[in-house]
Structure 1
Amino acid sequence: MFMHSDETNPFLALFIISLCLVGALGTWFSGTVIMPELAGRVQLGETQQVWLTNAVQSGFVVGALLIAFFNLSDSMTLTKLIAFSCGFAAAANLLLLFADTPIGIITLRFITGVALSGVYPPVVKLVATWFQTGRGIAMGIIIGALTIGSAMPHLFRAMVTDENWIHVIWISSAFTFLIGLVFLFVISEGPFPFDRTEFKPRQILQVLSNKSFYFLNVGYIGHMWELYAMWAWILTFARIPEANLNLFSFLTPEYFSFFVVSIGAIGCVIVGRLSDVFGRCYTTAILMFTSGSCAFLIGFSIEVAPAVFVFVAFIWGLTIISDSGQFSAAATELAESHLVGTALTVQMALGFGITILAIWLVPLSAHWFGSFQWAFLLLFPGPFIGALAMLLLRRRPDAVKLALGKR
Structure 2
Amino acid sequence: MNDLLRRYPLPVIVLAQLFGTSLWFSINGVWLSLAGELGLTESDLGRLTLAVQAGFIAGTLTIAVTGLADRFGASRIFALSSLLGALVNSGFIFAAGVPPIDFLLRFATGLCLAGIYPLGMKMVIAWTPKYAGSALAWLVGMLTLGTALPHLMRGATLGMPWEWPLMAASCLALAGGLLVFLLGDGPHLPKSSGRLPLSQGLAALRIPRFRAVAGGYFGHMWELYAFWTLTPLLIGRELQRLGEGEALIPWLSFAVIGIGSAGCIAGGRLSRTLGSEWVARRALMVSGTFCIVYPWLNGLAPVLLIFLLVVWGIAVVADSPQFSALASATAPRESVGSSLAVMNAVGFGLTLPAIWLTSGLWGQLNVWVVLLLFPGPVFGLWSLARYRLQT
**TM-score past 0.5 threshold:** yes
Structure 1 residues 4-403: aligned runs within 5 Å:
8-9=6-7, 12-39=8-35, 48-99=44-95, 100-162=97-159, 164-184=161-181, 186-198=182-194, 199-240=196-237, 243-244=240-241, 247=244, 252-369=248-365, 371=366, 373-396=367-390, 399=391
**C-alpha distance in 2 between matches for 1:228 and 1:385:** 16
**C-alpha distance in 1 between matches for 2:349 and 2:214:** 12
The 1:313/1:150 distance shift into structure 2, 3 A limit, reads same
Is the partner of 2:186 in helix, strand or coil? Answer: coil
The 1:45/1:157 distance shift into structure 2, 3 A limit, reads closer
**C-alpha distance in 1 between matches for 2:45 and 2:250:** 18
Q: CA deviation at 1:105?
A: 2.5
Q: Percent of aligned pairs with the same residue?
A: 33
Contact persistence 2:238–2:302 (CA under 8 A): no
Q: Please give the TM-score of this superposition, normalised by the length of structure 2.
A: 0.91
What letter is aligned with 2:336?
A: V
Contact persistence 1:129–1:193 (CA under 8 A): yes
**C-alpha distance in 2 between matches for 1:344 and 1:335:** 8
**C-alpha distance in 1 between matches for 2:3 and 2:32:** 42
Match in the other structure for 1:405: none
Contact persistence 1:332–1:344 (CA under 8 A): yes
The 1:282/1:64 distance shift into structure 2, 3 A limit, reads same
Structure 2's unaligned 5+ residue stretches are none
Q: CA deviation at 1:178?
A: 2.1
Q: CA deviation at 1:71?
A: 1.3
Contact persistence 2:189–2:333 (CA under 8 A): no
Q: CA deviation at 1:225?
A: 0.7
Q: CA deviation at 1:220?
A: 0.6
Contact persistence 1:3–1:13 (CA under 8 A): no
Task: Note the aligned Cα RMSD (angstroms).
Answer: 2.5
Q: CA deviation at 1:46?
A: 5.9
Q: CA deviation at 1:234?
A: 2.1
What letter is aligned with 2:177?
A: G
Q: Which structure 1 residue ranges, 4+ long, deviate > 6 Å from structure 2?
A: none
Per-residue Cα deviation, 1:123-179 (whole angstroms, up to 9, x for no partner):
000011112322211111211122112222222332211554443323222212222
Is the partner of 2:350 in helix, strand or coil? Answer: helix
Question: How many aligned positions are there?
Answer: 389
The 1:246/1:354 distance shift into structure 2, 3 A limit, reads same
Contact persistence 1:365–1:374 (CA under 8 A): no
The 1:153/1:170 distance shift into structure 2, 3 A limit, reads farther
**C-alpha distance in 1 between matches for 2:334 and 2:4:** 23
Contact persistence 2:204–2:332 (CA under 8 A): no
**C-alpha distance in 1 between matches for 2:381 and 2:100:** 38
The 1:341/1:41 distance shift into structure 2, 3 A limit, reads same
Q: Please give the TM-score of this superposition, normalised by the length of structure 1.
A: 0.87
Per-residue Cα deviation, 1:346-393 (whole angstroms, up to 9, x for no partner):
111111111111122222121331x3x333332122112111211221
The 1:236/1:106 distance shift into structure 2, 3 A limit, reads farther
